[in-house]
Structure 1
Amino acid sequence: MSAIYHNSMAALDKFVPNKLRPLWQHPAGPKTVFFWAPIFKWGLVVAGISDLQRPVDSISIPQTAALAATGVIWARYSVVIIPKNYSLLSVNSFVAVTQLYQLFRAVRYQQSLKAAA
Structure 2
Amino acid sequence: MSSAAYRAAISAVDRFVPSKLRPLWEHPAGPKTVFFWAPAFKWGLVIAGIGDLTRPPDKLSVPQSSALAATGLIWSRYSLVIIPKNWSLFSVNVFVAGTSIYQLSRAYLFQQEQKKLALTQGETPAIAPAK
TM-score, normalised to structure 1, is 0.95
Whole-angstrom distance in 2 between the partners of 1:64 and 1:3: 39
1:61 aligns with 2:73: no
RMSD: 1.0
Quote how far apart the aligned CAs of 1:13 are: 1.3
Equivalent position of 2:9 in the other structure: 8
Structure-to-structure mapping, 1:27-106, within 5 angstroms: 27-106=28-107
Gaps of 5+ in 1: none
Q: Distance in 2 between matches of 1:33 and 1:47?
A: 22
Task: Provide runs of 4+ in structure 1 moved above 6 Å.
Answer: none
Q: Which residue of structure 2 lines up, in the alignment, with residue 23 of structure 1?
A: 24
**Structure 2, unaligned stretches of length 5 or more?**
119-131
> Which gives a bigger RCO, structure 1 or 2 (Cα 8 Å, sep 6+)?
1
Could you tell me which residue of structure 1 aligns to residue 125 of structure 2? none
Q: TM-score, normalised by structure 2?
A: 0.86
Which structure: greater helix fraction? 1
Q: What percentage of aligned pairs have identical amino acids?
A: 68
* Count of residue pairs brought into register by the alignment: 117
**Counterparts of 1:111 and 1:8, CA distance in 2:** 54
Bigger mean CA offset, 69-78 vs 2-11: 2-11
State the distance in 2 between where 1:60 and 1:3 align. Answer: 42
Shift of 1:116: 1.7
Report deviation, 1:3.
Answer: 2.5
CA distance in 1, matches of 2:26, 2:65: 37
